[in-house]
Amino acid sequence: MVSTISAVIIGYLLGSIPFAYIATRIKSGEDIRHVGGGNMGALNVMREIDRGFGYAVWIADMAKGILAVFIAQWLGLETIWVYTAGFAAVIGHNWPVFLGFKGGKGGATIMGVLLALVPREFGISFGITCIVVFITHNPVLGLTLGLIPLPVFVWQLNGSGLLVSYTIFLEAFLAIRYAISGLVKAKSGTDIKKGLIFDKEYSIWQAKKK
């Protein structure tokens, strides 16, 4: 019981580390929550602050999910609690205790959890994501098209019904987060207008066009 509670708490605290906020403060002194679309995530840092810092944030946010899963596995927890610890990291990213419970959407952290649990299957999905982003410059579309078939890959290559269900759950959670965030930003007028498929405002991999 102590190990289980510890793993979940550690996962949440790892997720709560606001790398986007920290990186933006270091690079520009600004608050990422008041820049661009206001999302505390790697994509907003890439677009509005610095591409290199954005990649660093993306990797760090993925690492939160990876570490949460690995720590739970290292503690020898049952599968369901390993999944819970991974999701705790996602919750921490979205509602971080260090920044008044106002964080990002959790895309990179979910990617980290999936990479730790199903590296082969995730690698295939990530390849699809990269191809779509390369063509359209639209990471949201790329992530969507990459993750949609992931449960099928897990089912075909892994065969675990629980793991397939967990993958679907994470994807559904992320979709809801994006939908809610989009509605809130549309209502407040802070959403960033761009093409549904092709994002012509930014160059490849989200560097701003000069």
pLDDT digits (tens, 9 = 90+) for 54-82: 999 999 999 999 999 999 999 999 999 99
Structure tokens at 136: 């359209």
> According to the model, what pLDDT value does residue 158 have?
81
Q: Which of 9, 156, 15, 182 is nearest to 90 (CA)?
A: 15
- Cβ proximity of 185 and 177 under 8 Å: no
Q: What whole-number distance in Å separates Cα of residue 99 and Cα of residue 62? A: 19
For the chain, how big is the Rg over CA atoms in Å?
17
pLDDT in tens, 18-40: 999 999 999 989 999 888 878 89
Q: Which of 150, 139, 146 is nearest to 39 (CA)?
A: 139
Q: Which of 13, 64, 57, 63 is nearest to 39 (CA)?
A: 57
pLDDT in tens, 77-106: 999 999 999 999 999 999 999 988 888 899
- Which range (109-118, 119-128, 153-162, 174-183) has the least confidence? 174-183
